[in-house]
Structure 1
Amino acid sequence: MGREFLDVFEQWADSYDESVGGCNREYKEVFSGYEQILDAVTSHSKGYVIEFGVGTGNLTKKMLAAGLNVTGIEPSLPMRRIAEAKLGNNVKIHDGDFLHFPEIINVDTIVSTYAFHHLTDLEKDEAIAKYGKLLSKGGRIVFADTMFESVEDYYNAIVKAKEEGFHNLAKDLETEYYTMIPILRTILEKNGFSVMFKRCNDFVWLMEGLKQ
């Protein structure tokens, strides 16, 4: 359910904001257009928003500035502390994850960035099923995350990372649960969502699922 990667979150916590700003050469393409990606997620959101994987609070900050009502879910204590220091008392951030979180009602939008790949495909299916019951008709899921159009593209990304000497990135790609767009499309559609995908950079896609 993603919590097996908590040690990764803790390693990233202090350097995450520098990395998303382009300071980490190995992950520069992963975070290419980072601010625009967050803006896109924000612009596709409405009403009462639940954010999974708040991290250091960068998306949360943008959504609050846009006048959205946000509740955050974040399993990493170091990440939560950074986000809370950044956001002050403007938002409540709960300890939880994509599958286990406090009871929430009347949700309009569920968002996440750079986090859904910490779930296996079976767990992704379980999570989307939960969200399908949580959201009313017209509600939406808006995720920006690393995913691939095909298995061939996925393996090519690993090979390219190794050839460029990006061994940490290659390890991430090999050990975390990056999925294929056709699989994610099937999961969403079978749980009552229409879905669209838009490429943001060589790794990240914006996914929007609308509850039918």
Structure 2
Amino acid sequence: MGREFLELFQDWADSYDNSVTGNDAEYAKVFQYYDHILEAVAERSNGTVVEFGMGTGNLTLKLLDKGLKVIAIEPSKEMRAIGEEKLQGRTKIIDGDFIQFEVDENIDTIVSTYAFHHLTDEEKLEAFSIYGRLLKIDGKIVFADTMYETKEAYLEAIKKAESDGFHNLAEDLKREYYTTIPVLTDIAQKTGFEVSFNRCNDFVWIMEAIKK
């Protein structure tokens, strides 16, 4: 359920915002157009929104500034602490993850950025099954994350990171559960969603899945 990576975020929480603004050369292309990606996710959102993996609250702020009601969910206490300071009580922040969470409101949109790869493909299917029961018809999931068109493209990305000397990035790509668009398409369709994908940079795509 992604909690096996919490130790990474203990170390990364304080420097996360510095990384996403392009100051870490190794991850610059991963976070290229970061602000635009968050804006695109926010623009696709409506109504009452559940945000998984809110991190330091960057997307949360954009959703709130758009006038949306947001329930922010984050398993890392270090990230939550930074998010709470940034958001200044503007929304509820809950300890939870993509699969284990408690929400007792009607939800229109489920969002996340740079986090769904912390779930295995089996867990991704479990999560979509939960969201399919939670959302009404035409409710949507909007996730921006690193994903690949094919398994070969994923392996090529690892090889390129290694050849560029980006060994931390290469290890991240190997360790975490990055998947492919065909796998995500199959998961969405199996759980009653119509799905589309839009590429944002060399790593990140926006997946929009609408409940049918």
Same-fold call, TM cutoff 0.5 = yes
CA offsets, 1:97-137, max 9 Å, x none? Answer: 00000133310000000000000000000000000000000
Structure 1 partner of 2:42? 42
Q: Secondary structure at the match of 1:14?
A: helix
CA distance in 1 between counterparts of 2:145 and 2:135 reads 21
Q: 2:94 is matched with which residue?
A: 94
Please give the TM-score of this superposition, normalised by the length of structure 2: 0.99
**Residue 100 of structure 2 aligns to which amino acid in structure 1?**
H
Distance 1:36 1:12 in 2: 22
Distance 1:102 1:198 in 2: 30
Partner of 2:175: 175
Question: Which whole-Å CA distance do the structure 2 matches of 1:120 and 1:190 have between them?
Answer: 16
Q: Which runs of 5+ in 2 are unaligned?
A: none
Unpaired stretches in structure 1, ≥5 consecutive residues: none
After superposition, give the CA deviation of every residue in 1:49-92 in whole Å (9 maximum; x if it has no partner): 00000000000000000000000000000000000000011011
Contact residue 48 and residue 70 of structure 1 kept, 8 A: yes
TM-score by length of 1: 0.99
CA distance in 2, matches of 1:50, 1:87: 16
Alignment RMSD: 0.5
Contact 1:105 1:134 in 2 (8 A): no
Distance of 2:141 and 2:22 partners within structure 1: 27
**Count of aligned pairs:** 212
Residue of structure 2 in register with 1:55 after alignment: 55
Tell me how far apart the structure 1 counterparts of residues 127 and 104 of structure 2 sit (CA, whole Å). Answer: 14
Cα distance in 2 for residues equivalent to 1:95 and 1:120:
20
Question: What is the CA–CA distance in structure 2 between the aligned matches of 1:109 and 1:146, rounded to whole Å?
Answer: 20
